[in-house]
Amino acid sequence: MDLMQLFDMLLHVDRTLGALLAQYGTYVYIVLFAIVFCETGLVLFFFLPGDTLLFIAGAFCATGEMNFALLMALLITAAVTGNTVNYYVGRAIGHRVFTHNYRWINKDALRRTHDFFEKHGGKTIIVARFVPVVRSFAPLVAGVSEMTLPRFQLFNMTGAVLWVGSLVTAGYLFGNVPVVKEHLTEIVLVGISAAMVPLAIGGLYKFGRNLLKR
């Protein structure tokens, strides 16, 4: 297998996990850890599969090809540490923004963002776990906004447990059901939509409340 073929398998690991298991065995645990870490910790890798990967990995646990407890522990750790790295990158950027006089930066808006995360950031960090692309950027924004580390870690760990735990368990229970296999993409899209509903409702509520105040 050449480098391009390997990269393609990793990029579509949610569809090629069986082949990777057959070829690399237990090394796949390291691959899955790295993918979840990079997707959540490095914004450049926001395109990596997340939700479907967790679901499919759970399905392979049900067949006995992977260890459920080990997989859960590794992927929760990857999700937590990935977000933490992303948060610290944001903190480093935020520090320079606050200490340098950049004319193109609206510091008042930046401080308002900081206040927003202090009040509502926890919900954002948890819900973002279930929204592709957003989950790669939310911890970075939290760091830039200087959300306090203890508060961030509380919601970071809660979100990681809920995200990995729910999707891996769902895959374990339902991943090998034929109808689920055939419509996995649609099921994941429905799950993503459901995760975004609370955000949409909250946004509409605040918008309506602002209109009534005028």
Q: Which of 168, 163, 116 is nearest to 135 (CA)?
A: 163
What is the tally of structural domains in the chain? 1
| Host domain of residue 173 | 3-209
Q: Which of 136, 125, 156, 132 is nearest to 43 (CA)?
A: 136
Do residues 187 and 180 lie in contact, with contact meaning Cβ atoms separated by under 8 Å? yes
**pLDDT for position 202:** 52
Task: Give the amino acid at 82.
Answer: G
- Answer whether residue 214 is part of any domain: no
Asked if pLDDT for residue 95 goes beyond 90, the answer is: no
**pLDDT for position 184:** 52
Asked if pLDDT for residue 3 goes beyond 50, the answer is: no
> Residue 73's CB: how many other CB atoms inside 10 A?
12
- Answer whether residue 91 is part of any domain: yes
**pLDDT for position 174:** 78
Confidence of residue 65 (pLDDT cuts 50, 70, 90): confident
136-194 confidence digits (pLDDT tens): 888 888 888 888 899 999 999 999 999 999 999 988 887 666 655 555 555 555 555 55
Q: Which of 79, 49, 23 is nearest to 192 (CA)?
A: 49
Retrieve residue 126's tokens.
Answer: 């948890």
Asked if pLDDT for residue 207 goes beyond 50, the answer is: no
Do residues 42 and 78 lie in contact, with contact meaning Cβ atoms separated by under 8 Å? no
Confidence of residue 114 (pLDDT cuts 50, 70, 90): low
Share of the chain above pLDDT 70, in %: 63
- Mean predicted confidence (pLDDT) in 16-38: 84
- Answer whether residue 97 is part of any domain: yes
30-64 confidence digits (pLDDT tens): 989 998 999 898 877 887 877 888 888 888 888 88
Q: Rounded to whole angstroms, how far apart are CA atoms 57 and 69?
A: 12
Q: Rounded to whole angstroms, how far apart are CA atoms 7 and 81?
A: 23
Return phi, psi of residue 179, to 5°.
-65, -30
Confidence of residue 74 (pLDDT cuts 50, 70, 90): very high
**pLDDT for position 53:** 84
Q: Which of 140, 152, 155 is nearest to 85 (CA)?
A: 140
Q: Rounded to whole angstroms, how far apart are CA atoms 81 and 95?
A: 21
Higher pLDDT: 182 or 111? It is 111
- Answer whether residue 165 is part of any domain: yes
**pLDDT for position 185:** 54
